[in-house]
Amino acid sequence: MNIVILSRNANLYSTDRIIEEAENKGHHVEVIDPLKCDIIIEREKPTIYYKNKYLDYVDAVIPRIGASVTFYGCAVVRQFEMMNVFTTATSDAILNSRDKLKSLQRLSKKGIGMPKTVFTNYTRDAREVLQHVGGAPVIIKLLEGTQGLGVVLAETKSAAESVLEAFNGLQARVIIQEFIKEAKGADIRALIVDGQVVGAMKRQGKEGEFRSNLHRGGSANIIKLNEAELKLAMRSAEVLKLPVCGVDMLQSERGPLLLEVNSTPGLEGIEQATGKNIAKSIISYIERNVNK
């Protein structure tokens, strides 16, 4: 089988692991920079041109597209879809997951529990917005933020008002969420492959840090999800039509609460924390869905 990983960095841990497991199964793997692809739109034979060759021999695509190149990266994924190439994440699913507001609206409509959340269009009445989520402390997130960037914990009403006024002045769109105190700076990442949880870890932020992202100094340990957490993770992936994804949630007094769904989750932290071979699971999922 010919497998393409769409990524701008061929040296990442996740990419290396996927290549390793694919080659162990006898497959041929290429890492292709989506920004260097030419999309050729034709009715009879849509195709993609990359480094002096047509990519008309590809059987499956694994998108590992960074948020900064979402538009063109998804255009490349969409072109592969037009060529009837199997993909572990469709272009529409990636776009929907990257739009934080849209994804939260869809998930909420399907009954997925999440922290109280407010989106406002540059309102000048910060006090009223804070009341909607129960007052300070609150989490304020840039809609375009990733990996913990653009996320602020405002511990007091005056601090929250100042942050909101600053973002409004920059015309930066944000969402405001209630702070789940009982989570104690920790969250859960569940890795979904083929709609099932194949690994889960609890990430704990370092002392004094409310964000649990591992690259920000957090730690991770394997965790066994309870029935409610399993259901939330799998249902969230199903709603956003992402058979391979990472689902982040908080443990709260009212049950698990969804934070976000990541269409291109990293494998390093969860493989090391759980000892599970996630990369192999992804290759096996492709094998089950592609005619060899």
Largest CA distance in the chain: 61
Second-level CATH architecture of 182-281: 2-Layer Sandwich (3.30)
Residue 141 has a pLDDT of 85
Contact yes or no for 195/237 (Cβ under 8 A): yes
User: Given the structure tokens 């890795």, which residue do they identify?
Assistant: 191
Can you give the pLDDT at residue 18? 97
Positions in the chain short of pLDDT 70: 122-124, 144-149, 205-218, 292
Let me know: does 222 contact 201? Beta carbons within 8 Å. yes
**182-281 matches 2-91 in CATH topology:** no
Amino acid at 74: C
CB atoms within 10 A of CB 42: 8
User: What integer pLDDT is reported at residue 169 of this predicted model?
Assistant: 78
Query: Structural domain boundaries of the chain?
Result: 2-91, 117-179, 182-281
- Tell me the three state secondary structure of residue 254: coil
Fold of 117-179: Dna Ligase; domain 1 (3.30.1490)
Output the CATH code of domain 2-91: 3.40.50.20
Rounded to an integer, what distance in angstroms lies between the CA atom of residue 280 and that of residue 24? 9
CB 256 within 8 A of CB 232: yes
- Give the separation between CA 240 and CA 224, rounded to whole angstroms: 24
pLDDT at 209: 55
E runs forming strands in 115-164: 117-119, 138-142, 151-154
Contact call for residues 77 and 7 (beta carbons, < 8 A): no
